[in-house]
Structure 1
Amino acid sequence: MIDWRNGSDLDRVAELRIDPEWVLAAWSDPDAVLLRVGEASVEAGADGSLLTRRVEAAFDPEVHYLLGRIDGRPWFATRVRAEEELTALRTVMDGLPAVGLQAAFTAVGLTTWHDVSRFCPRCGSATRAVHGGQSRKCTACGLELYPRTDPAVIVAIVDPDNRLLLGRQPVWAPGRYSVFAGFVEVGESLEQTVHREMAEEVGLALTGVTYLGSQPWPFPRSLMVGFLAHTTRDEPVPAVGEIELARWFTHDELVVAMATGEVILPPHTSIARRMIESWLDGSLGS
């Protein structure tokens, strides 16, 4: 499983991708591969492995986007409109090797951004892909656009008895529980977002907010920033329509609930799962 705290095996070739001739040569490399993705899906085999295709068509900078190099091989991504040809990324991501997961997350986020960035937000003119698809440029006013990442906080809340607060949204599958998350708003620090979101979602005042780590989350293109926060023994007040249930768990209660199937945790590749498991083994925040 990938450890997002380490360096990446995906070389993003920042100095090389600005040269269109180099990007074209990378596309023509006999070892180059193409990853086909959808809005939140990838091309996968029957065993859940990530599938790539040999590069064969003529290079089109508006539909072929350079991800970088993996083990020296150029990797490109393209958007597929026929979603039925693809597999939901959430269903296979736990089984992907670290570098494949990084490539899939990057490809889905990048192609999603291109889909909604084809017109200039300043003058309304068409934009064109440049730098291998790592940015776009307005054809009229010259404004440069870069892939957007939306920051969101995800928070493990514990009380003085070291109970962990987990909750579920109404739209989740039965039994699915997780820690709490929310998007950063304009003019907020990450820590301010933690306080505001947790007050909104479960009505709790927090103390001792501590940074834990982060990871990309391509649904559609977020950066999840994890925090540990402490609170009093107050009971949570779930936000109506957003949080169906919020419940304190002791270590033993959560172990039993997981064993019986009463509680199903988030995917292994999510920072939420890593935070919960770290609390279970006593290493959260250490």
Structure 2
Amino acid sequence: MDHDPMHDLPMTAPVIDRDGPERDAPRWLETLLADPATRVLELLGDRSPLRPDRSLALRSPTPADADTLLLYLGRHEGIAHVAACRPFPPKGGPSREERLDSAPFASLREVAAELPQAHAALFATALGLANWHVRHPRCPRCGEPTDVVSSGWVRRCPHDGSEHYPRTDPAVIMAVTDDADRLLLARNIGWPEGRFSVLAGFVEPGETIAGAVIREVGEEVGVSVRDVRFVADQPWPFPASLMLGCTARATSTELTCQPDEIAEARWFTREEFRHELAEGYARAAGRLSISARLIEGWLGHRLDELG
């Protein structure tokens, strides 16, 4: 491979100024909605409208935005961006897309790999925040409904005054190779036949990244590893993860799959992997995810160019 497979990893470019100090400015969102230069990312459930060129259909504010969940996303090239979040319409009713005859809506999974870097970062931030608000409407201390403050970045309990912040769950995802430079791939019990990927799992309290890699590989397939190296990370707002990509070297190769997690696991040489992809016996994830890029780093070739 002529280039770093992580260089264009979607949703990772640090191109958004999150402008944290402005979040608590008095009536900040009202000020932004009154400014036609503000760009609004409309979120309907987990979907946002697109333009024909496959960029987000960002727009100026409208009066209807004041009735939505508003989130200040920050600035790109000096321009303020706000997400206006609406839930999916009730089943059986016309969608907002149909009512407004607007651009087609798409999910982040569908378009993140095609979007401009700034748009992918904005969409990921908006979706991650919106998912947190949907899942945490009440105070975890007393159970009372909380108020949205700090331009969408905090929920405050009016009963006990406690403040609650967006949650991100770190998860490790790792390309494990053995002394013969074979790659360990596995199929989750919920995946179709032939779909393989690298192993992954959540970091537990009190655990380091390396500790999580060692534990997860041991639990899921019974393999011991060493030389854990961090490679790259990627936000994964489905609903609220940060994927920490690593490599590791196996010190054992016998596979014992965790029955409630892993349907099958195999060691692949590069030749075996290429052959099974070409013949359709194996399928790999699309290049949206860091999992595909970890595989490409080992394989030395882009997955979407194999065939």
Q: Give TM-score, length-normalised by structure 2.
A: 0.83
Q: Which residue of 2 aligns with 1:202?
A: 221
1:74 aligns with 2:97: no
Unaligned residue ranges in structure 2 (runs of 5+): 1-6, 90-94, 98-104, 302-307
1:279 aligns with 2:298: yes
Q: Which residue of 2 aligns with 1:161?
A: 180
- Counterpart of 2:38 in structure 1: which amino acid? A
Q: Which runs of 4 or more aligned residues in structure 1 lie more than 6 Å from their structure 2 counterparts after TM superposition? A: none
Contact 1:49 1:96 survives alignment (8 Å): yes
Task: State the Cα distance separating 1:237 from its structure 2 match.
Answer: 1.8
Q: How far apart in 2 are the matches of 1:81 and 1:256?
A: 44
CA 1:2–1:27 in 2, change beyond 3 Å: closer, same or farther? farther
Task: State the Cα distance separating 1:50 from its structure 2 match.
Answer: 2.5
SS at match of 1:272: helix
Task: State the Cα distance separating 1:2 from its structure 2 match.
Answer: 3.7
CA 1:112–1:140 in 2, change beyond 3 Å: closer, same or farther? same
Q: Give 2:107's match in structure 1, choosing from 71, 88, 93.
A: 88
**Kindly, what percent of the aligned residue pairs are identical?**
38
Task: State the Cα distance separating 1:32 from its structure 2 match.
Answer: 1.6
Task: State the Cα distance separating 1:20 from its structure 2 match.
Answer: 2.7
Root-mean-square deviation (Å): 2.4
Matches within 5 A, 1:108-127: 108-127=127-146
Q: How far apart in 1 are the matches of 2:10 and 2:112?
A: 14
CA 1:276–1:234 in 2, change beyond 3 Å: closer, same or farther? same
Q: Which residue of 1 aligns with 2:265?
A: 246
Contact 1:167 1:179 survives alignment (8 Å): yes
Task: State the Cα distance separating 1:59 from its structure 2 match.
Answer: 5.6
Contact 1:66 1:133 survives alignment (8 Å): yes
Contact 2:11 2:121 survives alignment (8 Å): no
Contact 1:166 1:248 survives alignment (8 Å): yes
Unaligned residue ranges in structure 1 (runs of 5+): none
Matches within 5 A, 1:203-282: 203-281=222-300
- Counterpart of 2:171 in structure 1: which amino acid? A
Q: How far apart in 1 are the matches of 2:149 and 2:267?
A: 50
CA 1:42–1:169 in 2, change beyond 3 Å: closer, same or farther? farther
Task: State the Cα distance separating 1:169 from its structure 2 match.
Answer: 1.6
| Deviation digits for residues 30-87 of structure 1 (CA, Å, limit 9, x no counterpart) | 1222223355433335665423333102664861111111222221113332276543
CA 1:94–1:6 in 2, change beyond 3 Å: closer, same or farther? closer
- Of residues 241-250 and 218-227 in structure 1, the stretch that sits farther from structure 2 once superposed is 241-250
Task: State the Cα distance separating 1:234 from its structure 2 match.
Answer: 1.9
Task: State the Cα distance separating 1:171 from its structure 2 match.
Answer: 2.5
Q: How far apart in 1 are the matches of 2:122 and 2:11?
A: 16
- Of residues 151-160 and 201-210 in structure 1, the stretch that sits farther from structure 2 once superposed is 201-210
Q: How far apart in 2 are the matches of 1:81 and 1:41?
A: 10
Aligned length: 282
- Counterpart of 2:43 in structure 1: which amino acid? V
Task: State the Cα distance separating 1:149 from its structure 2 match.
Answer: 0.2
Task: State the Cα distance separating 1:173 from its structure 2 match.
Answer: 4.4
Q: How far apart in 1 are the matches of 2:225 and 2:260?
A: 22
CA 1:78–1:62 in 2, change beyond 3 Å: closer, same or farther? closer
